[in-house]
Amino acid sequence: MGGPAAGGTSTAARKAYARLVNAVHTCSKKTKTENEISFSDADLDNLILPHDDALVLTMLVPNWEVKKILVANESSADILYYHAFQKMMIGDDRLKPANSNLFGFSGEVVKVEGQIELPVLVGEPPCQAFTMVNFLVVRATSVYNAILGRPVESLPIELLDLRDELRGTQPAEDLISIPLCPDDDEKVALIGSSLSSSIQRHLTKFLQDNADVFAWAPVDMPGIDPEISTHRLGVDSTCKPVKQKRRHFAFERRLAIKEEVERLLKADFIQEIQYPDWLANIVLVKKTNGKWRTC
């Protein structure tokens, strides 16, 4: 996309942009950075090699999880498509007027509904990046929800690295380990050391007398009365069910899926059944402790 971001709306702004592009600068020695972006074999899941797939991201814009954001270095504007803008429930009154139109890759003119500056958060805890992006909102058909072009690459990005803070998190006081089951040393509870001896004694007896309410594994949870809590899928009956194509997972992920499925089968939480109408793949999310969360 080409448009106002490639210099501006005035003749003077476009001339200044052209002088900046054609200027020759002496590059100083690049300083080293500790924040590296790297890819491993785990990122090759679901890819047919060799590949030339586009870089597509998921970001929070603003506080909404927006998927299918295309990173396009050849685009001179940051685009937010109107169908995605509407779902953010921001309101057209927040749009500022744009004085010129965009030009597509094939030269067609794309009308700009307006422009809006929104906060963008990318990454997952404990390492995230935040910046403000001036999006041009366009009403056009696209498989993507937004396009990040060259303007966002030149913006100052604040890196939010919480790893040191997470490592330094400590309990407010020293804790005392209380055994709950005399025949199992691993089943313990932790109580504060600053409690008086009388309270510690009564609390210890209370926890040991009610040790059966603790669940140490899925098999320890026999089930919940459906009258208390029931989980169901909020499926629209008017929509056509979809069977997702089977994903091929890396060896480490396959082991995590197998372990979780066997644990849930043993606890009678799930059962094998045939889905003639719809089917969804398992989603794995790596936790901060290195283990996998299975969804």
> Lowest-confidence range among 137-141, 153-157, 173-177, 269-273?
153-157
Distances (CA, A) of 124 to 127, 144, 161, 250: 6, 21, 10, 21
What is the rounded average pLDDT of the residues 30-55? 65
Q: Above 70 in pLDDT, residue 39?
A: no
Radius of gyration of the chain (CA): 27
11-21+38-165 in CATH: which number? 2.40.70.10
pLDDT tier at 48 (50, 70, 90 boundaries)? low
Rounded to an integer, what distance in angstroms lies between the CA atom of residue 159 and that of residue 123?
A: 10
Could you tell me how far CA 35 lies from the centroid of its own chain? Answer: 19
Q: What is the DSSP string of 47-87?
A: --SS-----EEEEESSSSEEEEEEE-TT-SS-EEEHHHHHH
Which residue ranges make up each domain of the chain?
11-21+38-165, 175-214, 251-294
Average pLDDT over residues 147-157: 68
Q: Evaluate whether 9 touches 3 at the Cβ level (below 8 Å).
A: no
CA distances for 292 relative to 117, 169, 232, 236, angstroms: 36, 22, 24, 30
Of 134, 161, 164, the C-alpha closest to 148 is 134
Average pLDDT over all residues of the chain: 77
pLDDT digits (tens, 9 = 90+) for 49-65: 666 667 787 888 877 88
